[in-house]
Amino acid sequence: MSVKTETEVIIGGKSYTLSGSESAEYLQRVAFYINNKLSEYNKIESFRKQSTEFRNILLELNIADDLFKTKQKVADLEEELERKEKELYDLKHELISSQIKLDNAEKNIKSLQSEVNDGTKKIVRLEAQLSGGKS
């Protein structure tokens, strides 16, 4: 069970006591966010002319809009992360496959070099036999 935190915050010039399982710092950041929204919209004359109830609804709608946009960004980033992880998996698979091909090619080269060496030795023996038989 988490510890309940209480902290004093100021929102819209009024003091409130907030409590929750989050840290006091987090609760202060939430209050700061709301104050920034209030400040942003209080700069708009048509907003200030509205009733308190209407201003609160507009503020709530804008905060909800921020939430939905942030959730969409998170979903987009998670989707991009999935694509990148799949791409990385595919690249690792391709790297392993290429490494196996390289290893097989190196074995084939060694085998061919051995065959060339054996053939060269055979040629030298045959040449020696041929030149030995002429004397």
Condensed to tens digits (0 to 9), the pLDDT of residues 50-90 reads 999 999 999 999 999 999 999 999 999 999 999 999 999 99
pLDDT of 2: 73
The Cα–Cα gap between 11 and 35 comes to 6
Instruction: Compute, in degrees rounded to 10, the torsion defined by CA atoms 41, 42, 48, 53.
Output: 60
Residue type present at position 96: I
Average pLDDT over residues 35-42: 95
pLDDT of 100: 98
**pLDDT at residue 1 is higher than 70:** no
pLDDT, tens digit, for every residue of 3-25? Answer: 899 999 999 999 999 999 999 99
pLDDT, tens digit, for every residue of 94-134? Answer: 999 999 999 999 999 999 999 999 999 999 999 999 987 66
pLDDT of 133: 63
Estimate to the nearest angstrom the gap between the alpha carbon of 114 and the chain centroid: 49
